[in-house]
């Protein structure tokens, strides 16, 4: 997978700071690994489980997710750039 500098992602300006209420997938209840949508705060599971984070991004056109739990090791992924942001 590709990694790009945060400054090179034109979608980063769309990111919000959504409030994290739960870390469980809103569709299937999986608790890990999950991702938070940086546009609306939706919590979805990753592609290695049921892919609800990706399905949400495709359905809503929300470009950015962050891996949970939030920490210094969390990654940010942009669906539109198809890249991790560093």
pTM for this structure?
0.94
Report the first-to-last Cα separation within the chain, whole angstroms. Answer: 13
DSSP structural state of residue 71: S
Among residues 26, 70, 23, 77, the alpha carbon closest in space to that of 52 is found at 26
Domain ranges of the chain: 2-85
What local confidence, expressed as pLDDT, does residue 7 receive? 94
Q: Under CATH, what is the fold of the domain 2-85?
A: Herpes Virus-1 (3.30.40)
Please write the tens of the pLDDT for every residue from 6-45: 999 999 998 998 989 999 999 999 999 999 999 999 999 9
Question: How many other C-beta atoms lie within 10 A of the C-beta of residue 9?
Answer: 20
Tell me how long the chain is: 86
What torsion do the CA atoms of 25, 27, 28, 33 make, to the nearest 10 degrees? -30
């Amino acid at each position: 997978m590709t990694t790009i500098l945060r400054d090179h992602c034109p979608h980063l300006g769309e990111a919000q700071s959504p409030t994290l209420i739960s870390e469980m997938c809103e569709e299937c209840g999986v608790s890990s690994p999950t991702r938070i949508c940086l546009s609306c705060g939706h919590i979805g599971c990753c592609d290695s489980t049921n892919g609800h984070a990706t399905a949400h991004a495709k359905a809503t056109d929300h470009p950015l997710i962050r891996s949970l739990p939030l920490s210094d090791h969390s990654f940010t992924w942009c669906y539109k750039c198809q890249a991790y942001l560093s």
